[in-house]
Structure 1
Amino acid sequence: MLSSMESPELLALITAHIRQGVVVYDADECIMLVNPHIAHIFGFEPSAVCVGSTLTEYLDRIGAAVGWSEDRIKAILENHRAWAKQGEPRSFDHNFDDGKVVEIGFHPLAGGGALLTFSDVSHERRLTAAGNRREELTREAGSMLQKVASISQQNRIVAFNVRIEAARMGHEGRGLAVVADEVRDLSQQTSDVLRDVSRIIDASLATI
Structure 2
Amino acid sequence: MEYLRHGIVIYDRDEEIVLINPYVSRMFGLADNAVIVGCTLTDYIDRIGNIVGWPQDRKAGILQNHREWAREGVRRQFDHQFDDGKVLEITYHPQADRGAVLTFVDVTHERNLKRVNERRDDLTRQTAAMLERVGRISANTRLVALNASIEAARLGDEGRGFAVVAAEVRDLSIETSDVLVEISRINHASLHIA
Structure 2: segments with no counterpart, 5+ residues:
none
Report the aligned-residue RMSD.
Answer: 1.4
Q: What is the Cα deviation at residue 207 of structure 1?
A: 2.3
> Which residue number corresponds to residue 11 of structure 1?
none
Q: What is the Cα deviation at residue 18 of structure 1?
A: 4.4
- What is the CA–CA distance in structure 1 between the aligned matches of 2:167 and 2:99, rounded to whole Å? 80
SS in 2 for 1:48: coil
Larger mean Cα displacement after TM superposition, 149-158 or 78-87: 78-87
2:22 corresponds to which of 12, 36, 42: 36
Which amino acid counterpart does residue 69 of structure 1 have in structure 2? Answer: P
**1:50 paired to 2:36:** yes
Deviations for 1:37-93, whole angstroms, at most 9, x for unmatched residues?
111011112222111111111100000111111111111111111222221212111
**1:170 paired to 2:153:** no
1:117 corresponds to which of 83, 87, 103: 103
1:69 corresponds to which of 55, 76, 81: 55
> Which residue number corresponds to residue 183 of structure 2?
197
- What is the CA–CA distance in structure 2 between the aligned matches of 1:101 and 1:148, rounded to whole Å? 41
- What is the CA–CA distance in structure 2 between the aligned matches of 1:130 and 1:155, rounded to whole Å? 37
Q: What is the Cα deviation at residue 123 of structure 1?
A: 1.1
SS in 2 for 1:76: helix
- TM-score in terms of structure 2 length: 0.95
Q: What is the Cα deviation at residue 132 of structure 1?
A: 1.3
> Which residue number corresponds to residue 45 of structure 2?
59
SS in 1 for 2:33: helix
- What is the CA–CA distance in structure 1 between the aligned matches of 2:135 and 2:70, rounded to whole Å? 58
1:147 corresponds to which of 104, 128, 133: 133
Identity %: 56
Structure 1: segments with no counterpart, 5+ residues:
1-14
Q: What is the Cα deviation at residue 20 of structure 1?
A: 0.9
> Which residue number corresponds to residue 156 of structure 1?
142
SS in 2 for 1:46: coil
Deviations for 1:97-139, whole angstroms, at most 9, x for unmatched residues?
1111111111111111110011111111111111111111111
Which amino acid counterpart does residue 99 of structure 2 have in structure 1? Answer: G
